[in-house]
Structure 1
Amino acid sequence: MGSITVTGLAMGDTSLTITSKTVPSVKTTVPVTVQSRNLLSYGPARENGLTVSVNDDGSLHVSGQTTAANQGIKWRFPIPDDVRGKTVTYRLASAPAGVYCYAQSRNTGGVLSTFLISDPTHTLSAEATEIEFRVATNTTNPVDGDIRVQINPGETATTWMRPDDTSLSGGGLS
């Protein structure tokens, strides 16, 4: 028995029609849901003087002013089983001045790896259970702007795509 891998360019529901080459009258239509290749999850949050909202396109908008550098907001979410032990790539396409972002793979023992723009590609440990995504400031000046960030499967960063989950509650990072 063979298998089929389907990669979609746009998220949503569609269908796939499979037709036999030897008996063209034999065919079936299979419903398909195309999920985002962006593995991150995040959502609106307000902590440490920062407000993060989700734009209509799924990117983040961050504004506000922290009382100290390196304060911000974090989101934790489970790593999909089919990605554990595989290579993923972090890409920060845009962030406003004074804001930095990074992610960590974690398990109950703590941090296993950290994803930065300077070190974006990692093989997730098979023991990794969650990702923690962080947005923080490197200033106490006001910040305001949009963030487009993702972690995608594979060794090459792809074009930014909104994540499937943009309603996850975030918490404070200090």
Structure 2
Amino acid sequence: MRFSRYMVVTALLALASITVAHADDVSMASGSVHFTTPAGWVGIMQVDGDPEVRVFQVPDPSPSANTTLARVTVTVKQVSDAQAFGDYVNGAMTKAKNMKDYQASTRPSGEQNSFLYTASESGVQYTYTERYWFRNGHAIQLRCVRPSASEAGQAWAATFDKGCSEVAATLGS
């Protein structure tokens, strides 16, 4: 039996939702990484260790949310130096490029370690924005994933993107 990526993600998120918490102030990597999420985001998964991961669902109020998952992931991984950080970013981008229907978009202006692209998951096109920082021996990845077309419309997409940019500003400072 073959499970689609969406079904696997949905099953994992359902298991993780047993301990759903509303996100706000978040601390990772023994307190060396801090950020704040918009009040409406819901923490749906937490993995401690190396890498340390936090996943947040960004509620989509439209009917299309029944078959899609708008989410934001922050991953913190220990790396020894700038070369290891570069290897981490290159590895993540190699995985992205291997996704179905991968299509690179224009990199956000002035953001050296930022990537914007689209790809398909279970037949649905998603827009991905990934940002990376190297700080205090850690590679930090912010990955924002939303359906490229939601019935919630452009206003919802703009709010999603704004929330991701706000988290990025916090992580990047």
TM-score of the pair, normalised by structure 1: 0.27
Determine which structure has the larger helix proportion and give its number: 2
For the pair shown, the structure with the greater C-alpha radius of gyration is 1
Tell which has more relative contact order, 1 or 2 (C-alpha 8 A, sep 6+).
1
